[in-house]
C-alpha cells in the first residue's frame, strides 16, 4: 500500500489594515481624484470649455451627458469629503465604465485609440477607493466614531 501525504503551503496572510502612511496616501489620492472628477463633471454644465470645448453645456435633462454631470459632481463631492465613500466611489466607477463602453469603446478597442483613457482611469481608481476605503481625513471616520459611542 502506498501512502500519500498532503503538503501544506505556508502563505502570508493579506494585511487587513493599511499603515498610517498608506492611509494618508490613499486620502490624498482620493482627494485629488475626486476634485478632478468634479471638474470633469462641471464640464457638462459649461465650465472648463463645456462639452464641446467652446463652453456649451449639456441641455437640461439630456441623456446621458446631463445626468452624468450630476452624478460626477454629486458623487465626486461625497468622495472628496469622504462621506459614504465606498458607495459613492462605486457609483463613480460605474458611471465611468458606462461612459467608456457606450461613448469610447464603439470608436475603437483600446483606450489610446478611442480617447477613453480618462474614463478607464477614473473607473479603476474609484473601484480601488471603493475596495480600500477613504483613508484618513474622511467624514466616514467621524460617522463611525459617533455611531460607536451610541
User: Cα–Cα distance between 84 and 82 in angstroms, integer?
Assistant: 7
pLDDT (0 to 100) of residue 11: 64
pLDDT (0 to 100) of residue 14: 59
The residue ranges of every structural domain in the chain are 34-140
pLDDT (0 to 100) of residue 55: 82
pLDDT (0 to 100) of residue 82: 96
Q: Locate cell 460607536: which residue?
A: 148
Q: Which residues in the chain land under pLDDT 50?
A: none
Report the predicted TM-score, pTM, of the whole model to 2 decimal places: 0.82
User: In angstroms, what CA-CA distances link 90 with 20, 47, 49, 103?
Assistant: 24, 25, 27, 19
pLDDT (0 to 100) of residue 142: 82
User: Cα–Cα distance between 74 and 27 in angstroms, integer?
Assistant: 18
- Whether the upstream peptide bond of residue 33 has omega within 30° of 0, thus cis, is no
Amino acid at each position: 500500500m502506498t501512502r500519500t501525504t498532503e503538503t501544506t503551503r505556508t502563505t502570508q496572510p493579506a494585511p487587513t489594515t493599511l499603515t498610517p502612511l498608506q492611509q494618508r496616501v490613499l486620502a490624498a489620492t482620493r482627494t485629488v481624484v475626486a476634485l478632478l472628477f468634479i471638474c470633469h463633471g462641471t464640464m457638462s454644465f459649461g465650465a472648463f470649455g463645456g462639452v464641446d470645448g467652446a463652453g456649451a453645456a449639456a441641455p437640461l435633462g439630456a441623456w446621458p451627458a446631463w445626468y452624468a454631470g450630476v452624478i460626477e459632481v454629486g458623487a465626486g463631492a461625497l468622495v472628496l469629503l469622504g462621506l459614504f465613500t465606498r458607495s459613492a466611489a462605486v457609483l463613480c466607477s460605474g458611471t465611468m465604465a458606462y461612459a467608456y463602453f457606450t461613448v469610447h469603446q464603439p470608436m475603437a478597442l483600446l483606450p489610446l485609440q478611442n480617447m477613453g483613457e480618462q474614463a478607464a482611469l477614473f473607473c479603476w481608481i474609484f473601484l480601488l477607493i471603493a475596495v480600500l476605503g477613504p483613508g484618513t481625513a474622511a467624514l466616514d471616520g467621524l460617522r463611525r466614531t459617533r455611531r460607536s459611542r451610541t
